[in-house]
Amino acid sequence: MASVTNLDFINVRLPMEDEGHLFRLSIRDGVWTQILKQEGDAAPPGAVSLETWNPTQAFLDSNRPIIDLEGKIMLPGFVDAHMHLDKAFSLTSVENRSGTLEEAVQNYSQASPSFSKQEIKSRMIRSAMQALSFGTTRIRTHLDFNLRVSREVALRTIEAALEAKEALAPYLTLQLFPMCPYNFMSMDVDAIEEALRMGVDGIGGAPHLSMTPKEDIDYVFKLAEKYDVPIDLHCDETDNPAIRTIEHIAYRTKAEGYEGRVTVDHLCALASMTDQDAHSIIAQMADAGLKAVSLPAVNLYLQGRHDSFPIRRGVTRLKEIWEAGIPIAVASDNIHDPFHPFGRGDLLQIALISSYAAHMGRPDDLRTLLRMITDVPAKVLGLTDDAIKAGNEANFVVMDGSTPEEIFTMLPERRWVYSGGRWVRMAAAKTKWQDNTLARYWDEASREVSFHKHEFAKG
Ligand SMILES: [Zn+2]
């Protein structure tokens, strides 16, 4: 299938590289070989638009057409640094009447023994593929590990996840992080080691929920070191500013020389603290080389449930953490489950929600947010080959839009996704209008409308 793994593009917009130029790109055997700046638009004879390109047609190298992106945006495949694929689409069987994190945890824990391995695997494949359809090509998923019920129930999810990972491996990369249950020191801890022996990618948990958070954190570090895997912990997902497991995680990371291998997620408590306290914690995070993930959609939904007005919204200090030089990604978290009844696995939608939640809407902010769903989460996952750069494997998403302003405004449905050396999604026809008059009005009016970047006055 040389015709699919060898591709040439012109008039590509790469907002992560240089917005002032269009680019000419080439892929050979699924690897980027050429990234060249163009001088203005190019129109080589025989070029075809993405809409008319037929990826199933075989071509000789000598007459393979160049694909004209007509100025559309291409981004590296999105990286979702924090999902719960095994829980996705469980809302039909697990409710959450209060809308609190506590009820979600409790109800899911009660229901989890009834989920078969096949059901968990199907939910994972369905939700991962949905994310892939929007342009996500790498995912780190946390996994329920209900050791409180039994070793068998806990390991069932691991088996399902390993099977889903293998089935999807040709199309997207999954990293699996089982969540050590809280207060797990009194349980069959060998089951956690068994999961690590079975081949999961790292170790997770939510020590802020534990009665003995320091001991839990210390044990997680001990296991991570024994199996030489990274750590990724839900951290202080609460409105209570007195809960600060982050400090012990930062301390332990430095003490064990684990800098760069520990990720902390949520950090909602930071949003309830005084500036002074928060700045001290952010400095400790930077000093310990921690990486971070914010989950704005789910935090907006679950946090503040015990407040009367003014109601806290739980989203961490996204901008301040970023400005402290800490790699912080934004990610999906839960989809249609008791933790979050919405979500569709679309990181562009999450970036937009983050923009609202963190007051990040200026032109520079939108570009930072694009990094928070691409190269920053790649760093969280420990990947170094994610960029659109010669020598890297080609994983990308093309959006029907020509500026970051346009794609944040329109959240384009029309996307073309290439992953693992093949097209995995092609967008449908260009016009959505069945009525010819409306189609003509749309085309004419759209030519007059622009989404180009405008600079605001400083200050
Ligand atoms: Zn989570």
Q: Kindly give the confidence (pLDDT) of every residue in the chain, 459 residues in length, as a single tens digit, with 9 standing for 90 and above.
A: 444 689 999 999 999 999 989 999 999 999 999 999 998 888 888 899 988 887 777 777 777 889 999 999 999 999 999 999 999 999 999 999 999 999 999 999 999 999 999 999 999 999 999 999 999 999 999 999 999 999 999 999 999 999 999 999 999 999 999 999 888 777 888 999 999 999 999 999 999 999 999 999 999 999 999 999 999 999 999 999 999 999 999 999 999 999 999 999 999 999 999 999 999 999 999 999 999 999 999 999 999 999 999 999 999 999 999 999 999 999 999 999 999 999 999 999 999 999 999 999 999 999 999 999 999 999 999 999 889 999 999 999 999 999 999 999 999 999 999 999 999 999 877 777 888 898 898 888 888 877 776 555 544
Farthest CA pair distance, the chain: 71
Task: Output the CA torsion sign for 151, 185, 83, 94.
Answer: positive
Q: Which CATH architecture has domain 78-380?
A: Alpha-Beta Barrel (3.20)
Measure 81 CA to ligand 1 centroid, in angstroms: 10
What residues does 425 pair with on adjacent strands? Answer: 417
Measure 234 CA to ligand 1 centroid, in angstroms: 6
Dihedral class, residue 166 (left if φ above 0, else alpha if ψ from -120 to 50, else beta):
alpha
Measure 264 CA to ligand 1 centroid, in angstroms: 10
Dihedral class, residue 373 (left if φ above 0, else alpha if ψ from -120 to 50, else beta):
alpha
Measure 190 CA to ligand 1 centroid, in angstroms: 23
Terminal CA-CA length for the chain: 54
What residues does 10 pair with on adjacent strands? Answer: 68
Measure 268 CA to ligand 1 centroid, in angstroms: 12
Measure 330 CA to ligand 1 centroid, in angstroms: 12
* Cis peptide bond N-terminal to 15, omega within 30: no
Measure 208 CA to ligand 1 centroid, in angstroms: 13
Q: Compute how many other C-beta atoms are within 10 angstroms of the C-beta atom of residue 76.
A: 25
Q: Considering the chain, tell me which residue range(s) the CATH 3.20.20.140 domain(s) occupy.
A: 78-380
Q: Is 254 helix (H, G, I), strand (E, B) or coil?
A: helix
Q: Compute how many other C-beta atoms are within 10 angstroms of the C-beta atom of residue 176.
A: 25
Measure 280 CA to ligand 1 centroid, in angstroms: 25
Burial class (CB in 10 A: 0-12, 13-18, 19+), 439: middle
Q: Considering the chain, tell me which residue range(s) the CATH 2.30.40.10 domain(s) occupy.
A: 2-76+390-448
Tokens 């012990």 belong to 248
Measure 131 CA to ligand 1 centroid, in angstroms: 16
Which of 303, 293, 377 has its CA nearest to residue 340? Answer: 303
2-76+390-448 homologous superfamily: Urease, subunit C, domain 1 (2.30.40.10)
